[in-house]
Amino acid sequence: MDLDLRKLRYFVAVADRLHFGRAAEELHIAQPVLSRQIRALEHDLGTSLFNRDSHGVTLTDAGRQLMDDAGPLLASAHAVRRRVSASALGSRRLVVGFRAGIPVIPAARVFEARHPDVVVDVQRMEWDDQATMLLDGRVDVGYVRLPIDETGLRLTPLYTEPLMAVLPTGHRLAGKDEVSESDLAGEPLVWHGDASTQPTRRPHPDSGLRVRGVEEKLEHVAAGRGISFVGRSETVFYSRPDISYVPVPDLPPAQIHLAMAADRTSPLADDFFAAAQATAEVTAECGNYEMWQRANDAVSRHG
Amino acid sequence: MDLDLRKLRYFVAVADRLHFGRAAEELHIAQPVLSRQIRALEHDLGTSLFNRDSHGVTLTDAGRQLMDDAGPLLASAHAVRRRVSASALGSRRLVVGFRAGIPVIPAARVFEARHPDVVVDVQRMEWDDQATMLLDGRVDVGYVRLPIDETGLRLTPLYTEPLMAVLPTGHRLAGKDEVSESDLAGEPLVWHGDASTQPTRRPHPDSGLRVRGVEEKLEHVAAGRGISFVGRSETVFYSRPDISYVPVPDLPPAQIHLAMAADRTSPLADDFFAAAQATAEVTAECGNYEMWQRANDAVSRHG
DNA sequence: TCGGGCGATACCCCCAAGGTATCACCACGG
DNA sequence: CCGTGGTGATACCTTGGGGGTATCGCCCGA
């Protein structure tokens, strides 16, 4: 009658590896049990999900369809459990996710003014888990950078910011007012999974270093292992003496969106949405290094 | 470990009725079983979901939260099962839902030109099930009318159409070129659940007749039991001699959106989206009675 | 031809979901 | 003040399914 989420989880494990033995090991159950559970799921759905050839295990059409759907469904179930647990503790709390460089403070202030009893908790996200964290309820609402798989999400554009090249301070282009993409054509690239900071197709997409967070990226660039790109706001919050940032005006700007799980209704999250949209200008301006300099200059002149 | 969807379904039954015995009856299980299952669910979630006072059963905060989330989750699970079954049959088929008066043909033609092997199936929806049908997979993509609860849905605006008053042919205003809302202020109203055709607040919202489909609405209006409103396109597809339609320019127009479940990824549905957006103009124009008259006149002149 | 890898089968145990009978509690009427 | 009916919880039984181990059947490569 009802879909069995345990079996679904087992199915995902097998479909990921296309190998019953290793999937069973991963799930900490015996292989025959897994075989039987998958058979039961197939019986339940009235169709076979795997082709068991002598050459190995492959997905059927139905299996592929189930694979597409299983992830979001399991994530939703996880999110439900998480939210119920949270509301059981009576916690008036909103978890806001953000990508590196995006300040949550402006919107949080406005939000907390309207909801003095709610604590805004922040949680940094990376390119490869921003969607998952929203879908499985680890964050209630998040500032995300495009591109993102918007399956199961509700996105609202907030603002854009220009991209900057990340160069070691000693680099030949380090002092320039701006560079073009072609100026950097020959440089080795420190890859970030986030395609928003991947300008155009490079000849060898798997050559060079792959990093996950900004700090690692900067570390590699500072060590001279390559160059990279970041959104302008990151230059404010991650400034270091051995790194230079140079605008690259001919690259399309990075898009910052606000996102939440599409299958939810939450007055708190809605109000945070409103607060974030109201403060989008301010939030964007926080990423403007010139603005901070002008402000600092004004203070020091008056000091 | 995993949420048990059967227990979740049981929970919804109890929460709907706030009565264990009747919920058990509805579920076709014995009442003690239901009590035990709910206890197990509460234990699993680590919190109580119901307050069992001597005065009856009420939801706790956690229970309310779970109630908000349970419906969409169960609908998603249902949708997954449905889609897997469909793809098991190898059926290249896309089910398009539509509200009364909205022609699917223009978009379907464009879509079928690109996917000759896919059959476009159509399914009429009413105001009260349009969201559910999209969420539980009975339709893959749908033309919906606002307002709609967009939880779990992805909406794209297509076009708007003016509202028309529905009057019996003998009505004092039946022949007019247009009427204003105030002209109709005293008339009894045939209520449609769909608020898109409910102009402003009426003094007694539960007075008068309540209907579900257009045909029933027209039947009542024709019988002189009241007046009503519809989108302009419905006047084309539901024209009858005993009913007159009169434009009401001072009412805000009805909004037609295209919708699909947000937790899905489907190339077929995406292509239908594209086709529907490309043919939005034509689709809207199909609802223009004047256009059809001009076309008919041209044919008869030439015939 | 034979051994190794892999999924399926056979056969156990045990827990949980289903059932029935009954209890505990409370509101309410006589 | 005491039955009485309604409601959820408890006790106890049966059964199906999820967990395990041992083993088979099959195919492939040495």
pLDDT in tens, B100-159: 888 888 889 899 999 999 999 999 999 889 999 999 999 999 999 988 999 999 999 999
* pLDDT band at residue A89 under the 50/70/90 scheme: confident
Positions 21-50 in A, CB within 7 angstroms of strand D: 28-30, 32-33, 36-37, 40
Measured between CA atoms, how close is A142 to chain B, in angstroms? 17
**How many pairs of residues across A and B have Cβ atoms under 8 Å apart?**
132
B5-76 against B92-160+254-287: fold identical: no
Judged by a CB distance cut-off of 8 A, whether residue A270 touches chain B is no
Q: Is the dihedral of CA A204, A205, A206, A211 positive or negative?
A: positive
B41 interfacial to chain A (CB closer than 8 Å): no
The mean of the pLDDT values for chain A is: 85
Q: What is the pLDDT of residue B171?
A: 82
Its sign, for the CA torsion B181, B183, B186, B192, is negative
- When the pLDDT of each residue in chain B is averaged and rounded to a whole number, the result is 84
Mean pLDDT for the stretch of residues B24-37:
89
B64 vs A contacts (CB less than 8 Å): 87
Q: Nearest CB to A2: which of B6, B83, B149?
A: B6
Q: Cα separation of A26 and A168, whole Å?
A: 43
Condensed to tens digits (0 to 9), the pLDDT of residues A238-271 reads: 878 888 888 888 888 889 999 999 999 899 999 9
Rounded Cα distance between B126 and B100, Å, is: 8
Domain spanning A92-160+254-298, CATH class: alpha beta
Reported CATH class of domain B92-160+254-287: alpha beta
Mean pLDDT of B2-16: 91
pLDDT for the residue numbered B192: 76
CB contact (8 A) between residue A79 and residue B69:
yes
**pLDDT bucket at A171, cuts 50 / 70 / 90:** confident
3-class SS letters over chain A: CCCCHHHHHHHHHHHHHCCHHHHHHHHCCCHHHHHHHHHHHHHHHCCCCEEEECCEEEECHHHHHHHHHHHHHHHHHHHHHHHHHHHHCCCCEEEEEEECCCCCHHHHHHHHHHCCCCEEEEEEECCCCHHHHHHCCCCCEEEEECCCCCCCEEEEEEEEECEEEEEECCCCCCCCCCCCHHHHCCCCEEEECCHHHCCCCCCCCCCCEEECCHHHHHHHHHCCCCEEEEEHHHHHHCCCCCEEEEECCCCCCEEEEEEEECCCCCHHHHHHHHHHHHCHHHHHHCCCHHHHHHHHHHHHHHC
* Spatial distance from the CA of A18 to the C1' of D19 (Å): 23
Question: How far does the CA of B37 sit from the C1' of C13, in Å?
Answer: 24
Query: Does residue A151 sit at the B interface (CB-CB below 8 Å)?
Result: yes
**pLDDT higher at A298 or A190:** A190
Chain A residues with beta carbon closer than 8 angstroms to that of B73: 73, 76-77, 80, 263
* Interface-testing mutation among B11, B37, B65, B69, with chain A (most A C-beta atoms within 10 A): B69
Report the topology of domain A163-247.
Answer: D-Maltodextrin-Binding Protein; domain 2 (3.40.190)
Q: Which nucleotide is nearest to A27 (CA to C1')?
A: D19
pLDDT greater at residue A201 or residue B216: B216
Residue A2 CB in 7 A reach of strand D: no
Residue B182 in contact with partner chain A when CB distance is under 8 A: no
Q: Does the beta carbon of A6 lie under 8 angstroms from any beta carbon of chain B? A: yes
Rounded to the nearest angstrom, the minimum Cα separation between B128 and chain A is 18
A92 and B CB contact within 8 Å: no
Nucleotides in chain D near protein beta carbons (<7 Å) = 7-12, 17-23, 26-28
CB contact, 8 Å: A77 with chain B?
Answer: yes
Residues of B in contact with A65 (CB under 8 A): 83-84, 86-87
C-alpha to C-alpha distances, B77 to A264, B8, B9, B132, B267, nearest whole angstrom: 15, 12, 11, 13, 20
pLDDT digits (tens, 9 = 90+) for B209-238: 677 888 888 888 888 888 888 888 888 788
B117 CB within 8 Å of a chain A CB:
no
Cα separations (Å) of B235 from B75, B166, B189, B230, B287? Answer: 34, 9, 18, 8, 8
* CB spacing of A73 vs B72 below 8 angstroms: no
Contact: B84, A90; criterion CB under 8 Å: no
- The whole-number Å distance from A299's CA to D16's C1' is 77
B-chain residues near A79 (CB < 8 A): 69
Distances (CA, A) of B290 to A270, B233, B287, B300: 42, 11, 9, 15
Does the beta carbon of A93 lie under 8 angstroms from any beta carbon of chain B?
no
pLDDT value at position A75? 93
Nearest to A37 by CA among A18, A24, A25, A54: A24
Instruction: Tell me the pLDDT band of B203, cut-offs 50, 70 and 90.
Output: very low
pLDDT reading at B296 higher than 70: no
Q: Determine the distance between A36 (CA) and C11 (C1') in angstroms.
A: 14
Please report the pLDDT score of residue A203 as a whole number: 46
Cβ–Cβ gap B76/A79 under 8 Å: no
Q: What is the pLDDT of residues A221-247, one digit of tens each?
A: 888 888 888 888 888 788 788 888 888
Please state which architecture CATH assigns to domain B5-76: Orthogonal Bundle (1.10)
**pLDDT tens by residue, B35-72:** 989 988 998 888 888 988 777 888 888 889 999 999 99
What pLDDT is stored for residue A291 in this prediction? Answer: 62
Indicate yes or no: CB of B45 within 8 angstroms of CB of A1.
no
Categorize the per-residue pLDDT at A142 as very low, low, confident or very high, splitting at 50, 70 and 90.
very high
- Nucleic acid strand C: bases within 7 A of protein CB: 6-10, 16-22, 25-27
Q: How far is the CA of A22 from the C1' of D23 (A)?
A: 20
More confident site: B91 or A22: A22
Mean pLDDT confidence for A136-145: 94
List the single protein residue with the shortest CA to C1' distance from C19. Answer: B30
Give yes or no for residue B288 having a pLDDT over 70.
Answer: no
pLDDT of the residue at B94: 93
Residues 197-256 of A with CB under 8 A from B: none
Domain residue limits, chain B:
5-76, 92-160+254-287, 163-247
Nucleic chain D: which protein residues 6-35 of B have CB below 7 A from it? 19-21, 31-32, 35
Confirm or reject contact between B83 and chain A (CB < 8 A): yes
Residue B32 CA, nucleotide D10 C1', distance (Å): 9
